[in-house]
Amino acid sequence: MTQMSELPEAASGTVSDAVKGNWVDHLAPERTRPYLRLSRADRPIGTWLLYIPCLWGVALAAAAGNGFRLWDLWLVTSCGIGAFLMRGAGCTWNDITDREFDAAVARTKSRPIPSGQVTVRQALVWMAVQALLAALILFTYNMTSILLGVLSLALVAIYPFAKRFTWWPQVFLGLAFNWGALLGWAAHAGEISASTFALYLSGIAWTLYYDTIYAHQDKEDDALIGVKSTARLFAENSRWWLRLFLALTVILLAVAVILALVPQRNPLQMVVGLAAAWGIGLHMARQMARLDLDSPESCMMTFRANRDAGLIAALFLAIAAVL
């Protein structure tokens, strides 16, 4: 395992791919910093990407029904807190299972476990604490949502191992990260529908897009240590595949909107709802125009830009819900 003395970041405990000037490194109590870094609190993009499908689910369910209710304020707030906690628990589990891989990759060897800031036992306890706090939130929802939340744990548990047995680990990430579309819809409506699954599939296509870009940062190290990814699988054909995932994201989101809103017979609502699909698609197309897959900096910047792409879709879906 890489020793702390070999890591310039480890002297201060910082992580190499964290957002510069993040609040964990500068404001959090020193004792809590290794655990917050383990939860990726210094890299908030993952929380956003887990939270946004929840927003999609709540907003489109509201648009398909009778609009927003007061209860939805709790759903939107608690889903955000839950996304932070479950993303933290999932990342902690990921770092436990990947600790030997992380120690061999330049971008990840400064993480808390391979750099020696946190032991595996401490990480397991921290993971359990985060998961239990998230469970307390989940248990305030209806039974359908609770069952969906419990089922999602299987995906969280499997994902870190996917890169060992498939070239498509991004599919497993998509299944896990977009589960909130199902859960958010069910938490509002008490049930799920065909539109819900179209929304879920749109999110999976979106994840395949942004996480393939993310994986291009590590493609050389991954090849050396035998880690599989869509970035390595697609190689020089990656841009073609990224365009395909972009198109699927837009088409499936449009299908979800149409299935949800046709019964409402409100043309303006339909136009605004479909603008969610066009909005995210245009943002992703702009990303593609600037993306350099051979530049880790460009890949990271593009990956992070998907927060805004997802929020654009969420905004239009929310507007449709109040029309």
Residue 240 has pLDDT above 90, yes or no: yes
3-state secondary structure of 20: coil
Distance of alpha carbon 80 from alpha carbon 92, whole angstroms: 18
Domain spans of the chain, in order of start: 23-322
Residue 7 DSSP one-character state: -
Distance of alpha carbon 312 from alpha carbon 64, whole angstroms: 19
Distances (CA, A) of 191 to 175, 210, 246: 19, 29, 28
Q: Which range, of 44-48, 65-69, 221-225, 229-233, averages the lowest pLDDT? A: 221-225
Distance of alpha carbon 55 from alpha carbon 48, whole angstroms: 10
pLDDT in tens, 69-91: 999 999 999 999 999 999 999 99
pLDDT band at 227 (very low <50, low <70, confident <90, very high): confident
Residue 263 has pLDDT above 60, yes or no: yes
**Tokens of residue 103, six digits:** 């120690």
Query: In the chain, which ranges are continuous DSSP H helix?
Result: 23-26, 33-38, 45-64, 71-97, 99-103, 120-138, 143-165, 169-177, 179-189, 194-215, 219-225, 230-234, 238-261, 267-290, 296-322
- Sorted by sequence, the CB contacts under 8 Å of residue 218 that are 6+ apart come out as 105, 107, 108, 227, 229, 231
pLDDT of residue 148: 97
Q: Tell me which range, 17-31, 92-106, 122-136, 153-167, is most confidently predicted by mean pLDDT.
A: 122-136
Amino acid occupying residue 301 = M
3-state secondary structure of 33: helix
Greatest CA separation found in the chain? 65
Per residue in 34-55, is it b (16+ CB within 10 Å) or e — as a string?
A: bbbbbbbbbbbbbbbbbbbbbb
- Average the pLDDT over 199-216 and give the result: 98
**Tokens of residue 114, six digits:** 């391979």
More confident residue, 107 or 181: 181
More confident residue, 1 or 144: 144
Q: What percent of the chain has pLDDT over 90?
A: 77
pLDDT band at 6 (very low <50, low <70, confident <90, very high): very low
pLDDT band at 12 (very low <50, low <70, confident <90, very high): low
pLDDT in tens, 267-309: 999 999 999 999 999 999 999 999 999 999 999 999 999 999 9
Assigned fold of 23-322: Tetracycline Repressor; domain 2 (1.10.357)
In whole numbers, what is the pLDDT of the chain averaged over residues? 92
Distance between terminal CA atoms of the chain? 57
pLDDT of residue 2: 35
Q: Which range, of 178-192, 220-234, 263-277, 304-318, averages the lowest pLDDT? A: 220-234
